[in-house]
Structure 1
Amino acid sequence: MKKLMAMLLASAMLLSVALTGCGDDKDGGGKEGKLNSIVYVCSNLGDKSFCDVSWKGVQEGAKVNDISKVKCIEYGQDTKSKMEPTMVDATDTYDLIIASGGEMVEIVEKFWEDYPDKRFIIFDVDPLYENKMSNVFCINFKQNEGDFLAGALASKMSKTGTVGYVGAAEVVVIQDFMVGYIEGAVYANPNAKVAVSYIGNWSDSPKAKELANVQITVNNADVLHQVAGGAGLGMFQACLENGKKWAIGVDADQRDFFLETDPDLADVILTSMEKRVNVALLEAINKTYAGELSYGTLEKWGVGKQVTVLAENDFYKENVPADVQSYIDDLETKITNEEIEISSAYGMSTETYNALRDKVKP
C-alpha cells in the first residue's frame, strides 16, 4: 500500500513540476526555503465557534508568514466517507496540513511516512496519545482547566445555586469540558448543582434550545454554558426567551458574533470559555516557518499558555462584580502554578465520571 502511494506521489510530483514549477516561491507566495502553502481541513465553517476560530488562526499564520496559497477545505458532516479522502487530497496539494481531532490522527497514521516533505499540525488530540510521527505536531488543549474557570464563574453568578451545561455529543473531549465545569462550580460553591444535558450532535440547535429550556424551567438553572458548536446557539435563544438568563459560550468570544446582528442575544452571553485555537495555531505556524516547532511530539496547552481562558471583554467587566473578577483571576494564577488539581475525562473510569455527574444532579 505504501509503495503504491509513494509511486503515485512521485508521479504526481513530476507532473506538478512539469506543469507549474512546484515549490517555486513565486507560485506559493512563501519565503525562500520555507513551506509555500497551508490548508485547513474541517467539517464546516460558519459555526461561529471552533471551526471559525481555527480558520482565523490559519489565516493569520499565512498572512504573517507571507503565504498566499492558503485554503480551507470542508468535508461536511459525512465523516465516514469524506474525511479520509479529503485529507489525502489536501496532503497531495499542500505543504502544511492542519486539522483537528483523534480521527484525523488515525487517518494520518496510515500515510504520513509516504509524505516525508509534508508537515501536519493536528490539534484537539487526546493527551494520552503517543505521537511517533516525525512530521506531525500534535496539540492537546486543556479545556478542563478553562471550564473550571467557567464553572466557578457560573456558581459565583448564580442566584439559585444551580447552573447548566449543554454539551454536543457525549464524547471524551466534550466530557472533559464538563468535568472541569463541574469541579469549578463545586470549588466556588460546595453546594452547587449542575444540570447536564447532551444534544447528540453539533448541529441540532432546536434540540439545544429544548434541553436548555428544561434546565431553566425544571431544574431552576440560571447560568448556562454550552459546548456544542453550532448547535449550542439554541441555548442562547433559550436564555434570552426565559428572562435573559446568563449564558457562557465556548471556543470563541461568541458575544462578538451577535453584537451587530442580534444585540439582544449578545446581551445574554456573559462571557465565553475561549479555546483560543487561533492563538495556538498562529504560534505553531510561526514556529514551523522559523524551523522551531518540535514535530514528532505532543504538547499540552491550557490556562498557563492563555489558550483556554474566559473572555474578559468589556461586557464581562461591566456585569461581573469586581470581587468575582478578582476571584477568577486568582484561580487562573493557581491553575498556572499547579496549585489546583483539576480532573480530566481522559483516562477517567466510567464509574468515576458517573459519580461526579450524579453528585451534583439537581
Structure 2
Amino acid sequence: MKDMPLTVKRSIELLGIALIGATLVIASDIIMPVIMAFFISILLLPVYRFLINKKFPEIAAILLPILLLAIFLGLIVWFFSAQVGMLVEDFPEIKKNVSSHLNAISKWISSISDFSTTEQVKFINDKSNDLLGMAGKAASGAAVTLSSIFVFVGLLPIYIYLMLFYKDILLRFIFMWFKTDHHPKVKDAIFETEAIIKNYLVGLLIQVTYMTILLGGILLLIGIKHALLIGVIFAILNLIPYVGALIGNIIGVLLTLTSSTELWPVITVLGVIAIVQFLDNNILMPRIVGSKVKINALFAILGVIIGGHIAGVSGMFLAMPIIAVLKVIFDRTEVFRQWGVLLGDERPAKSPMTFASFRKKKPVPAKAGVEKTKEKD
C-alpha cells in the first residue's frame, strides 16, 4: 500500500466510499437495525457492567437494561399518544378555526387578484381530489411500511442482546485486523468511540426531556393550547440536526393556528422556540454532551440529508453519531487522516494557499515550444 502512487490510493478510497454508499442504499433495511442496535448497546454498557460487578448472571445483566429501555420508550410513546388524544378531542374547534383562517386567506386573495371565491373553492376541491388519489396510492404501500417498522422494532432487542453477549468476540475480531504494534491506538479509538456514542445518546435523551419541559412548560404558562404536544414534537424533531428544528417550527405554527383564530399565539410560539433553542445550542447541549469531536455544519447537513435518503428517519437520527465515529477512526490512521480533517471544524489559522510549500518564489520557466513561439513573434 505504501509503494502505491498517490493517485491509485485516492482512487481506491473513492471507490471504497462508492461501494459503501451503494451497499447502504441496497441493504439499508438490514444494516440500519444493526447500526442502531450497536449504538444502543454502547449506551447500555455501563448498566451491564454495573450489574456484572454486582454478581448478576450475565443473561440477567443483559436483559434488565433492555427491559428498562423498553419501559422508558413505552412511557414516551404513552405521553405522546395522550397529547395526540387531547388534540383529537378538540377536532370540532380545530375545524372551525381552520375554516376561519381559510376565509381570511380567501378574502385577502380576492382583494389583491381577480381570483374569485368561487374559483378558489373549485381550485381547492380539485386539489383535494388529487390529494385523495395520492393518499389512496400511498395507503397501498402503508402495510408494507408498517410491517417493516414492526420487523425493525422486533429485531432490535435481539441484535442488542447478541451484541452484548458476543462483545468480546467482536472486539477480538477488530484487534485481529491490526498489527500488535497498533493495538494501543486501536484501544484508544475504541474507548473514545464508546465515550462519544454514550455521551451523544445520553445527551439526546436529556435534551428531549429538558426541551419538552422548558418549551412545553413556558407555552403552558403563557396559555398556548396544546403546549406540551408542541414541546414533545419539537424536542423529538430537534434530534435531527438543522432540518428537524425547521420542521418543528412549522408544525408548532400549524398547531397554534388550528387552536386559535388570532396571530399573537403564533408569534409567541416562534419567540419561545427561538429562546429555548438558543439556550439549547449555546449553553445546555455543549455542557451535557461535552464531546471533543466537532463536525462542521456542511457535512452535518449533508450527512442528515444522505442518511434520510438512504434509510429515512432512522438514517437522519444516526447520521451524526456515524460521522463522529468515522472522524475518530480517520484521525487515528495516516492513510485516511485527510478525511478526518474534511469532516472536522478545526479551521486553520491561515489559508493553506499562504503556506511556504504553496508559494513559488521563482518564476516558473516556460516550455521550449512556448519560448520559440515568443521569439518568432
TM-score when normalising by structure 2: 0.25
Looking at secondary structure, tell me which structure has more helix per residue. 2
Looking at secondary structure, tell me which structure has more strand per residue. 1
The structure that has the greater radius of gyration is 2
TM-score when normalising by structure 1: 0.26
